[in-house]
Structure 1
Amino acid sequence: MRRDRRALEELSRRLWEERQVVDHLLFKLTVTRLLLAADERRFVPQALEEVELAVEALRQGEYRRDEALRSLASLWSYDPAMLTLGELARRSPPPFDHTFAEHAVAFRDLAVEIDQVARENRVLANGDLQVVAGQLDQLSGPQVPFTSTYDASGQLDGAGAVGARLREVF
């Protein structure tokens, strides 16, 4: 029973840590959204780098949580793949039953929020790309398909190539 309790405590601790990392990821995604909405493009690469760092921290946390889950599943002679938060809440003694149920609700809510912010970020980023494309059209003319960097008379068509190359980059 003591081994079970230690394994439950370890898993609960890992889940709390993971929730903090997921919350931090949501924060970083929200900062990115605010930068996009404020048209502060120069800071977006830094914000995206911080999002990547948060995602990497989440991956590491998932690994540690998986180790704790496998340890508990082994003690219970249970398939770790079947040991969901809902199942943990049903099978665990108090106070862990309540703790795991709270984790399930919190992770579900965080996932919904992250999905919403990520969608908003994509919409804002696509809007920025359309603005950039419009600016490129003003600088180099509207986008037309081309197969070479030469015009019909055999002259080098530098403006079209530059505009097209910039569009490729964006």
Structure 2
Amino acid sequence: MLARFKWLIAAACFVIQYTVLPMIPAIELYPDVALAGVCTLALVYGPGVGMFYGLCVGVLAGSLFTLSLARTALTYSLLGLICGLLSNRARASKLALPLIAVGVAQVLRQGVDIAYLMLSRAHFDTFTLISRLSGSALLTALCALPLYWIMYHSNFKYRVIGKRVGT
């Protein structure tokens, strides 16, 4: 049933990431819900879907905010592609590989941001950056778990003679 609403899942994750979570004053470290949504879509539906929705979310994030459009779009689409390539293995492992894949994707996305900061010669505290990196990777992976579980079970629950029905 959720297969028809993939765009809505990506849009909801984008809205939560860039409008809802920054408005909560008590939270300084929050998960990358947009990346969790892109990686979850890629893990359930494959590399093409992950790359497409990664590009869409990256272009939206880069164009609506003061982020680099090309860097954000390329990062999200490549991470969607990488997670999508792991989709066959993720179905076999149920929860372990999706959890690891989303955590590693968050670390890679933050690594691209760190490389950008280093190349632009910006001043930053290395310890604070690394502690935020590990915390946000864990939160993003934990945020992606219920999303993956819901999408996985809605996509592969109904089978008739070995064929998927309802997608």
Higher relative contact order (CA 8 A, sep 6+): 2
Greater gyration radius = 1
Normalising to structure 2: TM-score of the pair? 0.31
